[in-house]
Amino acid sequence: MAKRRTLKRDISYIAGELFTEVLVAKMLVSKIDQGAADIVLTRILDMQDEYIKRVSHPGGKDNKKVVKGYYKKLVTDLQAEVEAIILAIEELGKEKIA
């Protein structure tokens, strides 16, 4: 149980850091498109909700191999989603500057 709780906290921490990054950029950088920043903020919140739900409901609770595979896939999916969001944040800064 403790590992699930830790994973949920990590997801919340990552989402909070990404959200803060976009929010600060939105408030302090005048050249950022506000609508695009709002879309990225929404994407971050949706990502947080989705992955916390996925942590709470693993498939195949009786089979340890299935559960272990489920969490490995969840972590790789989370890493891919975070990388995609980081790229979206980088694009926010490039849109109006270029």
Q: Which residues contact 58 (CB under 8 A, 6 or more apart)?
A: 67, 70, 71
Read off the pLDDT of each residue in 77-92 and give the average, rounded to a whole number.
95
pTM: 0.87
Place of tokens 């506000």: 34
Read off the pLDDT of each residue in 72-97 and give the average, rounded to a whole number.
89
Query: What rounded mean pLDDT belongs to the chain?
Result: 90
Each residue of 32-72: pLDDT tens digit?
889 999 999 999 999 999 999 999 888 777 788 888 889 99
**pLDDT score, position 1:** 47
Q: What is the DSSP string of 8-41?
A: HHHHHHHHHHHHHHHHHHHHH-TTS-HHHHHHHH
Neighbour count for residue 74 (Cβ, 10 Å):
16
**pLDDT score, position 30:** 83
